[in-house]
Structures are given as C-alpha cells and as structure tokens.
Amino acid sequence: MSVTYIWIIIACTLFVFEMMTGGFALMAFGLGAFVAAAGAAIGMSLEWQIVLFIAISLLFFFFIRPLLVRWWEKRDKNIPQTNAYGLIGRTGKVVEKIDHDARTGRVLVDGDNFMAVSEDGSVIDADSKVEIVALDSTILIVRNIK
C-alpha cells in the first residue's frame, strides 16, 4: 500500500472521529494528513510529508480552528429554540389555579396543557395570563402578567 493511501486513511479516520467529538481539533490533523497525502502523491520524501503534516496541522489548529469555533458558537445562538425550550418567553393562559403549596397549576399554551409553578411561589388564579420564564423538566415556571 502506498504512503499516499496511508495518509488518506489517517485523514478519513480523523474526520470520522471529529464528527463524533466536535471542536474542530481532530479536523486540523485530518487536513494536515490530506495535505501530506498530496505531498506523497507528487513524490515528496517521507520526512517532508511529516513536516508538511505537522506544519499544516499546527497552522490550522492555532489560527483557523479558533475562527471556526467562534463562528460555530455564534451560529448556535441564532438557531431558534425548539420543543419545550421554544416555550420560554411565550405567554399562556392559566386553566387551573397555580398554587405552589397545594402543588397544583396548569397552563394552556397553543392548545397544549402543561403543569406549571410560579416563579416566586405566589398563587396565580385561573384565567390569568402568564409568561413562561423557564423549565424544570416538563414543568413550566411562569410569572403573572399584570
């Protein structure tokens, strides 16, 4: 098996592990391995392939990777919340009096009925409007809208 194929196998393996871990760290070394494979394909000596692998990997790891990480984290903040977390900030109607001591309370949001507790432990009467401020598992934590 030629050295070019070995570098490609190393690169692909690193990319697969990168997909499992995230963070772009293994991707840096995978790109270095692909560049080393290109070097092997054009006839570079093994020593120069290793130098190329190390140089490209470190360049990507220390200069390009931080930019990708910042972009990825910023991108995550722009994704709309879905499922239960998509309810935070929405309003609902109390259909069963919310009483922390009696452990009762239900809120209707878009036709779905959820258990709810008040944010400050206060009692909120039925037919009141509330804002969902947080979640505790599947229980909504709400505040009364006056």
Can you spell out the DSSP letters for 15-61? HHHHHHH-SSHHHHHHHHHHHHHHHHHTT--HHHHHHHHHHHHHHII
Domain identity same for 127 and 62: no
| pLDDT of the residue at 88 | 87
Domain range holding 101? 83-144
Domain identity same for 72 and 126: no
By C-alpha distance, which of 4, 11, 16 is closest to 29?
11
- The residue out of 62, 77, 92 marking a domain boundary is 77
Instruction: Report d(CA 120, CA 125) in Å as an integer.
Output: 14
Whole-prediction pTM: 0.52
Domain identity same for 29 and 66: yes
In the structure encoding, which two tokens stand for residue 21, read together?
């871990």
* Burial of residue 130, with CB atoms counted within 10 A of its CB: 0-12 exposed, 13-18 middle, 19 or more buried: buried
Backbone CA torsion sign across 84, 88, 90, 95: positive
Domain identity same for 42 and 72: yes
| pLDDT of the residue at 115 | 92
In which region does residue 91 sit, left (phi positive, over 0), alpha (psi from -120 to 50) or beta (all else)?
Answer: beta
Q: What CATH number is associated with residue 87?
A: 2.40.50.140
Domain identity same for 71 and 92: no
In the structure encoding, which two tokens stand for residue 45, read together?
């000596």
- The residue out of 77, 92, 120 marking a domain boundary is 77
Place of tokens 């229980």: 139
Domain identity same for 67 and 125: no
Domain identity same for 106 and 63: no
| pLDDT of the residue at 78 | 59
Taking only the tens of pLDDT, the chain with its 146 residues reads 899 999 999 999 999 999 998 788 899 999 999 999 999 999 999 999 999 999 999 999 999 888 888 887 776 565 566 567 778 888 999 999 998 888 889 999 988 899 999 988 889 999 999 999 988 888 899 999 97
Please, are residues 140 and 106 in contact by the beta-carbon 8 Å criterion?
Answer: no
Report the number of distinct structural domains present in the chain.
2
| pLDDT of the residue at 80 | 60
Domain identity same for 71 and 102: no
Domain identity same for 57 and 92: no
